[in-house]
Amino acid sequence: MPEQQDALKKLTSGDYKYGFASDIEADQAPRGLSEDVIRLISNKKGEPAWLLEWRLKAYQHWLKLREPQWQNLHFPKIDYQDIIYYSAPKPKKLLKSMDEVDPEIRATFEKLGIPLEEQKMLAGVAVDAVFDSVSVATTYKRTLSELGIVFCSFSEAVQNHPELVRRYLGSVVPYTDNFFAALNSAVFSDGSFCYIPKGVRCPMELSTYFRINAAETGQFERTLIVAEDGAYVSYLEGCTAPIRDKNQLHAAVVELIALDNSQIKYSTIQNWYPGDKQGRGGIYNFVTKRGKCKGSNSKISWTQVETGSAITWKYPSCLLLGDNSVGEFYSVALTNNYQQADTGTKMIHVGKNTRSTVVSKGISAGHGQNTYRGLIKIAKGASGARNFSQCDSLLMGDLCGAHTFPSLEVNEPTGQVEHEATTSKIGEDQLFYCRQRGLSPEDAVGLIVNGFCKEVFKELPIEFAVEAHKLLNISLEGAVG
Amino acid sequence: MSLLEIRDLKVRVGDKQILGGIDLKVEAGQIHAIMGPNGSGKSTLAHILAGREGFVPTGGSVSFDGKDLLAMAPEIRAREGVFLAFQYPVEIPGVSNKYFLKAAYNAIRKHKGLEELGAGAFLKLIKERAKLVELDPTLLDRPVNEGFSGGEKKRNEILQLAVLEPKLAILDETDSGLDIDALKVVASGINAMRHPSRSFVVVTHYQRLLDYLVPDVVHVLVNGRIVKSGDKKLALELEEKGYGWIEAQDRERVAQP
Nearest to A436 among B50, B106, B111 (CB): B50
Contact between chains at A434 and B83 (C-beta distance less than 8 A): no
Instruction: Tell me how crowded residue B76 is: count the other CB atoms within 10 A of its CB.
Output: 17
Contact between chains at A451 and B95 (C-beta distance less than 8 A): yes
The reply to whether B161 touches chain A by the CB within 8 Å rule is no
Higher-pLDDT residue of A111 and A195 is: A195
Contact between chains at B51 and A436 (C-beta distance less than 8 A): yes
B180-209 residues touching A, CB cutoff 8 A: none
Q: Single out the residue of A401, A310, A364 nearest to residue A476, CA to CA.
A: A364
Report the amino acid identity of residue A79.
D
Angstrom distance (rounded) from CA A406 to CA A375:
6
Higher-pLDDT residue of B169 and B249 is: B169
| The pLDDT value given to residue A140 | 63
What is the edge-to-edge ordering of all strands in the sheet holding B31-35?
Answer: B82-85, B168-172, B199-203, B31-35, B217-222, B225-230
Q: Which CATH superfamily is domain B4-255 in?
A: P-loop containing nucleotide triphosphate hydrolases (3.40.50.300)
The reply to whether A429 touches chain B by the CB within 8 Å rule is yes
On chain A, the residues whose CB falls within 8 A of the CB of B95 are 447-448, 450-451, 454
Report the amino acid identity of residue B79.
R
Task: Give CA separation, B112 vs A151, A357, B81, B109, in Å.
Answer: 52, 46, 10, 5
Q: Are B183 and B175 in contact (CB under 8 A)?
A: yes
Contact between chains at B93 and A429 (C-beta distance less than 8 A): no
pLDDT tens sequence across A193-215 = 999 999 999 988 887 644 444 44
Q: Are A17 and A68 in contact (CB under 8 A)?
A: no
The pTM of the full predicted model, rounded to 2 decimals, is 0.80
Q: How many residues are present in chain A?
A: 481
Closest approach of B165 to chain A, Cα-based (Å): 11
Rounded mean pLDDT, A104-131:
46
| The pLDDT value given to residue A239 | 58
Nearest to A438 among B78, B90, B92 (CB): B78
| The pLDDT value given to residue A104 | 54
Q: Are B102 and B127 in contact (CB under 8 A)?
A: no
Q: Single out the residue of A328, A343, A474 nearest to residue A402, CA to CA.
A: A343
Indicate whether A272 pLDDT > 60.
yes
Task: Give CA separation, B66 vs A120, A433, B10, B63, B71, in Å.
Answer: 53, 25, 20, 6, 12
pLDDT tens sequence across A344-367 = 999 999 999 999 999 999 999 889
User: What is the per-residue burial (b if ≥16 Cβ within 10 Å, else e) of A391-409?
Assistant: bbbbbbbeebbbebebeee
Domain boundaries, chain B: 4-255
| The pLDDT value given to residue A208 | 60
First to last CA, chain B: 36
The reply to whether B215 touches chain A by the CB within 8 Å rule is no
Angstrom distance (rounded) from CA A35 to CA A56:
7
The reply to whether B49 touches chain A by the CB within 8 Å rule is no
On chain A, the residues whose CB falls within 8 A of the CB of B169 are none
On chain A, the residues whose CB falls within 8 A of the CB of B53 are 428, 432
A98 band by pLDDT with thresholds 50, 70 and 90: low
B4 by Cβ neighbours in 10 Å (0-12 / 13-18 / 19+) ranks as buried
Angstrom distance (rounded) from CA B144 to CA B147:
9
The reply to whether A433 touches chain B by the CB within 8 Å rule is yes
The reply to whether B74 touches chain A by the CB within 8 Å rule is yes
Paired residues of A235 in beta bridges: A206, A266
pLDDT tens sequence across B48-100 = 999 999 999 999 999 999 999 999 999 999 999 999 999 999 999 999 999 99
Angstrom distance (rounded) from CA A284 to CA A308:
10
A50 band by pLDDT with thresholds 50, 70 and 90: very high
Q: Which of A14-18, A103-107, A141-145, B51-55 has the lowest mean pLDDT?
A: A14-18
pLDDT tens sequence across A311-343 = 999 999 999 999 999 999 999 999 988 999 999
Contact between chains at B94 and A435 (C-beta distance less than 8 A): no
Contact between chains at B53 and A432 (C-beta distance less than 8 A): yes
| The pLDDT value given to residue A469 | 76
B3-22 residues touching A, CB cutoff 8 A: none
| Chains A, B: CB pairs < 8 Å | 78
On chain B, the residues whose CB falls within 8 A of the CB of A423 are none
| The pLDDT value given to residue B242 | 83
Contact between chains at A438 and B164 (C-beta distance less than 8 A): yes
Q: Are A45 and A267 in contact (CB under 8 A)?
A: no
Q: How many residues are present in chain B?
A: 257
Indicate whether A260 pLDDT > 50.
yes
ipTM score: 0.95
Q: Are A165 and A222 in contact (CB under 8 A)?
A: no
User: Beta strands A190-196 and A232-240: pairing type?
Assistant: unpaired
On chain B, the residues whose CB falls within 8 A of the CB of A437 are 78, 100-101, 104, 107, 160, 164
| The pLDDT value given to residue B168 | 97
Closest approach of B106 to chain A, Cα-based (Å): 9
Quote the mean pLDDT of chain B. 91
| The pLDDT value given to residue B74 | 97
Q: Are B154 and B181 in contact (CB under 8 A)?
A: no
